[in-house]
Structure 1
Amino acid sequence: MTDNPHALFEQWYAEAKASEPNDPSAMALATADAEGRPSVRMVLLKGHDDRGFVFYTNYQSRKGAELAANPQAALGFHWKSLRRQVRIEGRIECVSTEEADAYFASRARDSQLSAWASDQSRPLASRALFESRFEEQRQRFEGQLVPRPPHWSGYRVVPDVIEFWSDRAHRLHERRLFSRTAGGWTEGLLYP
């Protein structure tokens, strides 16, 4: 048992990476626009530490616009093979330029080119148009490193609360709730 939610998350995440058949890093990201209208989509966790949980995207996407207007988010992990889930709620901050550049450089070249070719979340007239734009970027950067687009970077969810849910028989589930305070983290239980 640990009283550090980041250490507990790391333990659960390691177990998920060993047992989940597909994408243990997949997480639901919930955002809301300035009027409070929510939206949710799946993204991939690309880093986590005591500062928070990191994902990358196009800042001009729908999620980027929503996070600019309302810099709060919620994350949900569901690891079916372990019968566990983790919920995280907190404020958003942008990752540093150095972090974004380092992660972008680690991506597959075609993923880098796609970041240049896509007007993420905007209407697309045809798949052929997107493929044509992708090919234009392939030719544009032929023989050179692909730099990170200025509109593409990462966000960190800085958690205020982290909940760990474990399935139990007869709906006697266990819910551990960690809440951030000025002095660190406090832990409590929730009824299932």
Structure 2
Amino acid sequence: MRLTDDRKEYVAGSLDDSALHVDPWVLFARWLDEYRATGASDATAFALSTISREGFPDSRVVLLKDAKEGSLVFYTNYASKKGQDLEAHPHAHALFFWPSLERQMRIFGAVERVDAVVSDAYFHSRPIGSQRGAIASAQSQSVSGRGALEAQFAQAEAIPEADLKRPEYWGGYSLRVERIEFWQGRPNRMHDRIVFTKSKSGWTAERLQP
């Protein structure tokens, strides 16, 4: 498969030096709002990268469910592969890629579970089918076939709606942002890169070469 001629020029925008003096969280919110305004599906999706107990990297796409100042919140099965990775190495990397705006954000930080009360509230805000799915699925575990999976869901469907409870093995994580890079594609591959690093005194910002 020859792909060397697949090229494009990046002309959608710019990120000038004034970005070095803004609150990175304000810029994050602005960029997210601008991408959501395009009508893109799954605008809050991002690639979450973790490290296994054996030291191997792994990535998957998850959905951002809350963005409080300084942290990103997502939900998953704590017993899943990503959950096991985060128990072994409680740091992660998040990558948002928005091709229509020619932007990406790279975010690194420590990860911890959110309070059970927060997970409970989010779980019960989900569609009933999604609640049952979380109960039915032993995420990342082997299953004999689709039929067995459907049988597990049927068991969850038998639970009265009023009795649905968040499983202890399912809930939220908060990624506390320690470093965030904003990337804006530019012509001639002279892209804009502004990175913010958290310190005890606040944020430090610098421009990186492309």
TM-score by length of 1: 0.96
In structure 1, stretches of 5+ residues that fail to align are none
Correspondence list, 1:16-95, <5 A: 16-95=35-114
- Higher-Rg structure is 2
Aligned equivalent of 1:14: 33
Structure 1 residue 143: deviation in Å?
A: 4.2
**Residue type of the alignment partner of 1:81:** S
Structure 1 residue 19: deviation in Å?
A: 1.0
Three-state SS of the structure 1 residue aligned to 2:182 is strand
Q: Output the CA distance in 2 between the equivalents of 1:161 and 1:32.
A: 18
Aligned equivalent of 2:149: 130
Correspondence list, 1:40-189, <5 A: 40-139=59-158, 141-189=159-207
Q: Output the CA distance in 2 between the equivalents of 1:125 and 1:100.
A: 30
| Greater relative contact order (Cα < 8 A, sep 6+) | 2
CA contact (8 A) 2:25 2:70 kept: no
Q: Output the CA distance in 2 between the equivalents of 1:143 and 1:5.
A: 42
Identity %: 41
**Residue type of the alignment partner of 1:118:** S
CA RMSD of aligned residues (A): 1.1
**Residue type of the alignment partner of 1:170:** N
Three-state SS of the structure 2 residue aligned to 1:191 is coil
CA contact (8 A) 1:59 1:65 kept: yes
Structure 1 residue 50: deviation in Å?
A: 1.3
Q: Output the CA distance in 1 between the equivalents of 2:161 and 2:50.
A: 39
**Residue type of the alignment partner of 2:132:** L
Q: Output the CA distance in 1 between the equivalents of 2:177 and 2:40.
A: 27
- Residues 66-124 of structure 1, C-alpha deviations (whole Å, 9 max, x = no match): 00000010000001111100000011111111211111111010000000100100111
Count residues with an aligned counterpart. Answer: 191
Q: Output the CA distance in 2 between the equivalents of 1:137 and 1:44.
A: 24
**Residue type of the alignment partner of 2:61:** M
CA contact (8 A) 2:50 2:82 kept: yes
CA contact (8 A) 1:20 1:80 kept: no
In structure 2, stretches of 5+ residues that fail to align are 1-18
